Amino acid sequence: MATVSKRTYTAVCRRVGDWWAVDVAGIRGLHTQARRLDQVEAMTRDAIALLKSVAPSSFDVKVEPLLEGDVEQTVAAATEASERARVAAEEAGRLQRNAARTLLKKYRLTVRDAGVLLHVSPQRVSQLAKVKASAASNARRNRAGKP
């Protein structure tokens, strides 16, 4: 069965006063506006559907805001930094889980002592140590065919 891909229209928007002015690439004369950037897709979708007499769900809309000068670079740098922070937080969580389990099982420390070493509360140590146990328990149940 062949998959039919939807046409994607690009809504190029720029700030004009208090509004986002929107032009749609590939559709001459189609202009709309939105008060907020999160409204651009819906406004564009409605305008295209009306002009083309098609269902609003029959195509995709990609919003492409145009920012002036170094603002675009600043936003890109902030976005990249946020992504690096997300990846680092995931790694820190993985390492904390491993450390908590090791301290509790291998070294037989209390959750209080492990918390002091990991700079987290005893309750957090319990949560960290429990994560893998719950996942392993679920995996065993799934292999056994139990809900």
- CB 35: neighbour CB atoms within 10 A? 11
Q: What's the pLDDT at 4?
A: 74
pLDDT at 145: 64
Question: In this structure, how many other beta carbons lie within 10 angstroms of the beta carbon of residue 110?
Answer: 12
Cα–Cα distance between 114 and 73 in angstroms, integer? 43
Rounded-to-integer distance, Cα 11 and Cα 5, Å: 19
pLDDT tens digits, one per residue of 16-70: 999 999 999 999 999 999 999 999 999 999 999 999 999 999 999 999 999 988 9
Residue 25's pLDDT is what?
92
Question: What sign does the dihedral 116-119-120-126 (CA atoms) show?
Answer: negative
- Helix (H, G, I), strand (E, B), or coil: what is residue 42? helix
DSSP classification of residue 120: S
CA-closest candidate to residue 48, choices 11, 6, 76, 90: 11
Q: Indicate the DSSP class of residue 35.
A: S
CB 13, CB 63: distance < 8 Å: yes
Query: pTM of the entire structure?
Result: 0.64
